[in-house]
Structure formats: C-alpha cells, structure tokens
A and B are shown apart, each in its own frame.
Chain A
Amino acid sequence: MKNLINIILLAFFVSLLVCSCKKEPEPKEATNLPNEVNLGESAIYLNGELIPTYKADCKYGEVNKIMSYVFYDSINLVTNIVGFDWLPQSTGNYELHDERILFVKALTSFSQIVDEDLEGYSYELEDPEEGFCNIEYLDTIQQVAKGRFKAKFKRTSTNGNGDLGLPKRLLFQGVFHEKYVKY
C-alpha cells in the first residue's frame, strides 16, 4: 500500500513537472515576402519582421570555387550573421545542412559576434528540411545573384552573455538581389 502511494505521488509530481514545461513558441513566419527586390535592396526577415538593417556580404572563393551568401546586421558592437556557404557557382534550390560537405547542400549557419571576435549566443540549424536556399539567378560576369531563403535556428548556449538582443529561436527568411565579390 505504501509503495502504491509512493508510486501515485511520484506519478503526480512527474505529471506536474511535465505540465509545467513551457513549449517554446514557434517563431513567427513572414507571409508577405516580395517576389523580387531591386539590386542592393534585399529584404531580410527575422521571426516575421522585416529587419532593414541587414546587409549582404556575398562572396565567391576562386580557389575552392565556392559561393557564400552572407547577410549580417551590426548594432553597436554585436554582429549577427546568417550565411549559406560552400555552394557551387550555379543556380539551384539547395537543401540546408550544417556539415562541412562541399557543394552537396548549403552549409547554413548563424553566428553572433560580440566586439570583433568574442562569441555571442550560439545557435544550431533547426528543422533543415523546412528550409531552403534557392539561387534563382546568377550573372557570373556582372557578379550578381538573386535568390531567396528560409532557415530556422535554435539557441544552444548564451555562452554566459547577458542580453544580446536575440530570442531562443530564429526564423530567417530573405529575398535577395546582390552583387558578390571574389576572393
């Protein structure tokens, strides 16, 4: 009988613990993305909101023949960077991944840098199958790229930082039209 009470009490407390767990809210998704943007006027959305301060830093590495589509936002001394890397210099709708495998899919990352070279919050790619990086147009002579993307990230650590301005979950969406540089 005593054991039975113990089991019931244990089950009660476990159920209390489970019920008290708050599910992280899904980040908001923007639904009104433009079909196209002008050159240099890329539209980057974070959790459903247009963040006009995001800039593009797209590159082509000539030695390894890889494209990097990078978008970043610097406020004060915090820089947020979302990037789609290690892609071939060709159009295509690329799946996302976070392993260092060349060309197969878009190596997708989000990093936060504080004060030049200190680590901010750490995030990992979440639900890569729901995201994409679609390079719709590429002019390798004028070095211009157009495309759109969607990528979700989940915070893995604050690395001991205080408020760095970002929530636990990030949903980036973007429509871009940018020049890229070679290095």
Chain B
Amino acid sequence: MNYIFEYKKILTLAVLAHSFICKVSAQQFSVPFIEIPNQSSVILSSPEQTKFNLLSNVATSVSKKHIKINPIQNYLIGDQLTINNPDGLGNLTFTANYVSSQPNGDYFWSGANVDGSLFILGKHPTGIQGGLYIAPTNTHYGITDLSVDKPVLIKFPNWDIDFRENCGDINSEDEEGDDLVEERSGCESNNIRVLVLFTPATATSGFNPSTVASGLIAELNASTGASGLSTTDISFTLANTLLLSGFVENGSDAEGDVDALADNTAAQTMRNDNYADIVILLTANIYTGLNGIAKAISALNKNAYCLAEIGRVATGSMTFTGSHEIAHVIGARHQRCTTCNRGQCDVSPWDNHGFSVGTTMGTIMITLPCGKTRIPQFSSETAKFMGLETGNEFNDNAKKLRKRADNVSCFRPQPVASTELNSVDISGNPTICAGSGFGIFNANFNTFAGVPPYVYLWETSPDGISNWTTYSTTAFSPLPLSNAGSLPNPFYLRVTVTDFGGKKGSDMMKVTLDNTCLDGGTDDREGTEFSEKFSEKISPNPVHNILYVQIEKGTNKILIFDLNGLEVMSILHDGSENLLAIDISSLKVGAYFVRSIGINNTKTHKIIKS
C-alpha cells in the first residue's frame, strides 16, 4: 500500500560522497537560496488567506512564514547553497546531490549538510513543494504554496516525520530492489489464480458475485493484454468464488478489514484449498474515503490480500477497482494525476508512477480523486491507447506486472485438474427446527474437477426418490434454506452442481424437522442435554436489559423467539468464540427462547425477561 523512501539515508550517503568528489568543483553561491520574510510583510489575497487559515487548522503546523525562492537553473550537483535558517540561527549550507531543471523554469532540487540536515524542493507549473529538516535542532519544515508564486514554510513539532520526495526517484522505480519481492520457489508459471470471496452482506447487494468474479478475471486478462503483455507474460484464472461466512464488514476501517481478511482462518483455508495466489474480498459497504484497498504493494505471499466494494468491481462500473487492487498486490504503483517527468512533479506527492493519457484519462492505476476516466490498460512504454502514450521507459506498470508475475504465481502451486465432478458432498445440520425453519447447507466438492462458474440446483423430495421440486438455483454455495417448516417431515435435499462445460455432480441429504425444539428441552437428544449446557452460557436469567451469551466457535446466528414461536430478534455472528451482549430492552416482559445456530449444532434455552 505504501511507497517508502528512506530519503535521509540516501541523501546522507550521497552528500558524503559528493562532499569528497566535488570539493574542487563546487561553487558557493553568494545569493541566498531562499529568503524568509516575516509573515506580516506578506500581503495575501483572499483565496491565499483562506488557504493560510486552512493550514492553521492543521494540527501540526505551529508557525508559518512566507518564503521567496531564487531561480536555481544554474545550480549543479555538488554546488553548495545557503539558506537563512528560519529560526534565525544563522545560515545553513546544503550540497546539491540531485538537481534537474527544465527550460520553463521548473526544477527539482535536493541537498544535504554533513550534519544530516536535508533540503528538498520541487517547482512545477502549479506550485512548489518540499521540505526542510535541520538535524542539530531536529526541526522539521514543510514547503507548500498558497498560490503559484506564494510558497509558505510551515514548522512542525519535533516528531519523527520522515521526508518523502515529491516525485519519487523515477529512474529507480522500476528496479526490482525497490519493493519487497520473494524469491521464486521453482514455479515456472505466470498464471495467477485469484480467489474471489464475498461477505454475507454482499449476497444481498443486488450483484451476482460469480458474475462479478468472472468479469474481474476477464478484465485483468484483457487489460494486461491491451498493455502489451502476452498470456505467457501474465495471465489470470478464477480459483473460485466463495462466501466468507461470518465476515462482518467494518463501516469505517477498510485497513482493519483487509488485515482481518489476511488473518481470517477460513479465508486462508479456502485460499489453500483452491490453490489461490491472490485473495480479493468483495464487500457491500462503500468504505468512507475509498473504494478498495490492498494489504501492501509488495509481491509478498503474506500480503496477497485485498478488498473492494462489489459495485466498483462489477463490469460496467468503469472504475476497475478490483483490477487496481490486485495490480497493487503484484507490485503496480499509483499513477500521477498529471504528467510528471523529471522535475515536473504532480500536485500530489503520493502519486508516483505513470502519467496522464491525454488530458482526461488515466490508466487503471490512476486514483479516482484525480477526476480522470480510467482506461482498461496499465501504463506501458509500448502500448498506446487511442494513439496516446500511456507510459514511457520510466513509467511502465505493465513491465512491473510482467516482472512480478512469476513470483506471485508461485505463491501457491498450480492444481492438478481432475476429469470427473464426482466428489460433491452436502454438509449442514440434518435437523432443522420446525419453528424457525432455517438451515444452512454447503455443497462441497473438488473445484478443480470442473471449470467455473458453477451452477447449484437445490431440490427437495419427500422420499428422496420421486417428486423432486426445485427449491433454488444458486450461483454459489452455501444455501440458506428458510421456510423449511412448510416442507414434508422428513424431506430430502439434493444438490446438483454443473460446471461451465456441463459436467455434473450430485449429492443428497435427509433432513428432519424438529417440532419440539421451541419448548425449551423435551427432546432428549438436542433439547435437555444441550439446553443444560447452553444455559450455563447465558446470563443473567431472569434478564432485564442486556443478555450475555457465551457463544461457541462456529455459531453464526442467534435467534430469540416468543412463546408463540414468533422470531422477535435475529443477530448474525461472525462464527468466532465470543461473549455476545444482546440488548433486549425493547422486548416486552415475559418468557422467550434463545436459539444459537451453528454450523454443526443448534441450541435453545428459555429465558425470562423481567
């Protein structure tokens, strides 16, 4: 996710080298590099004053001073430049170790003092950005502009703020060493298998996860192809589309959710079972401030997780958010909002790769806040879009994807395909409470036996032989079966899985409806025994407002019924072992049944609301 420059180290090393090499040739300019008049001597226009006031609201800025900057076209590497110390503590001299300038007056300049002080400045058509760090006093300054010709120096407290260059070192961006990359493990494939997971909330979002997943893979293959890469350079395959049962999205913290995804045991198991190199989670929530997020830009196995809001991944949304996040996982960087060549930096210091396609478009890796339309291509030195350049020698995400494909494709081994779809197996609780009539059933099978997408046909029958009635046709497993109370008792549930090529596999399960499970425990098998144990996990009883339920691992739902069997409260749970606090203050005084529904068992106990 992040692009880190260890700038201090680089500059310090560079200045030590240059202070030796350039001792003879270095020039000392008598003209001060920057002047820093008092704030009061600067007349600000209304918009400048507004921006100035806005900066005042930034919690870290403790003082601001206007600065003047002299032209530096003639400054060369090794030249020493002097600035007036903003604190009035005399002058500071910096030796230039990276200098570039353009005929139009734009430039990038960085320099360091042997004491570790640093000075970085970039001028571009729309303003100036940079920073100043004074080592002996550990004082940090930032340079930004109130308008094109009104740069302002902002002082920050002595916190551990690191410098980051505005533009990035374009030349080194495509070097293998600038990201963390794992060694290959002997795998020769460039085929990346993507597991698409979706949250329970996504299932009701109106999008079909399987369709979205297939569209995403097609989009990745088409966009890498359009970027000049062949299928032997890189290709993508859908490993599977699965529900990540119990995953609850956080409304605000996307970072927290992607971390939780990477730590989710079920997700890891599904990744291993499906030989997936990358996992992407589709969410229903539109996270505040973003549409998707990747664990990191790293091409590291442990970081091969990302998430995106399903509506932004769907084909036709034209946001390409799924491809964007997956490309981050492989190593692609953000594209700048505007064209950025040497010394001509973007307004945002965090966009550091690629450049605009024409004036209104950007590649898949441009960020949406840039306000440009994404084209279905990655930046490339060779691949044009509508006759327009999409990249160059130094800005080439396609090249990076090609370099990293072999690493990423080896995160998991390639599966060995089977020719039969004969391993379909239904799992789920064979006993359903007649009152709630609710059960969850999974169709498990070797997904490598067939070709996705799969179609699941769920049918019921009173005898398992005849009168099969279609209950549901779904694009994914599991099946949430409701209103089972209206079915025969017992009934047979059959699932038939059909793959993309028409291969079929099937399994059947006998399901019994439990008419006694609402009375608090007359059933010896499940009622009394389980309720007694379950009762120890419910407190207090009688309860007034908050009911605490110690729930076991695998529990995904808590239901509360009144004495008439009417469901009065339903709480979904993420399947983890937890103490759940349920606010039942809204319920009327009386007796109720609390039902815990898990993957393998269902438990009920009577409570009294006082």
Contacts and interface: CB of A to CB of B under 8 A. Distances in A.
B60 A103 contact: no
A109 B256 contact: yes
B140 A119 contact: no
Given A86-B248, A116-B367, A165-B60, A77 B255 contact: no
A81 B582 contact: no
B348 A115 contact: yes
A75 B54 CA distance: 9
B368 interface: yes
A63 B334 contact: no
Contacts of A84: 252
B348 A77 contact: yes
Point out which of A70, A81, A100, A116 has the most chain B C-beta atoms below 10 A from its C-beta.
A116
Contacts of A61: 201, 248-249, 251, 284-285
Contact of A77 (B260, B350, B570): B350
Contacts of B582: 103
- What class of interface size applies to chain A in its complex with B? 35 or more
A119 B1 contact: yes
Interface in A46-77: 46-47, 49, 51, 53, 57, 59, 61-68, 70, 72, 74-77
A103 B201 contact: no
B289 A72 contact: yes
Contact of A68 (B160, B251, B367, B578): B251
B250 A72 contact: no
B317 interface: no
Interface string A70-101: 10101111010111111010101000000011
Given A46-B59, A160-B2, A79 B290 contact: yes
Given A65-B571, A83-B250, A104-B579, A183 B368 contact: no
Given A66-B248, A90-B586, A163-B131, A117 B1 contact: yes
Contact of A115 (B160, B256, B367): B367
B293 interface: yes
A167 interface: yes
B252 A161 contact: no
A66 B251 contact: yes
Contacts of B254: 111, 113, 117
A183 B54 CA distance: 34
A182 B5 CA distance: 41
A94 B444 CA distance: 41
B289 A81 contact: yes
A27 to B, nearest CB: 9
Contacts of A77: 348, 350, 367, 369
Contact of B162 (A46, A90, A162): A162
Interface string B130-168: 010000000010100000000000001101111110000
B74 interface: no
A109 B583 contact: no
Given A64-B201, A113-B289, A163 B161 contact: yes
A76 B370 CA distance: 10
Point out which of B4, B163, B288, B347 has the most chain A C-beta atoms below 10 A from its C-beta.
B288
A103 to B, nearest CB: 6
Interface in A15-67: 46-47, 49, 51, 53, 57, 59, 61-67
B293 A159 contact: no
Contact of A118 (B2, B5, B573): B2
Contacts of B328: 117
Contacts of A116: 290-291, 334, 367-369
B218 interface: no
A160 B162 contact: yes
30 contacts: A53-B57, A61-B201, A63-B204, A67-B251, A70-B252, A77-B350, A81-B288, A88-B583, A90-B586, A100-B574, A102-B573, A111-B254, A113-B289, A114-B350, A116-B368, A117-B254, A117-B294, A117-B325, A117-B367, A118-B3, A159-B4, A160-B3, A161-B2, A161-B162, A163-B60, A163-B131, A163-B156, A166-B60, A167-B59, A183-B285
Given A61-B251, A67-B251, A104-B581, 4 more contacts: A76-B347, A79-B289, A83-B288, A159-B4
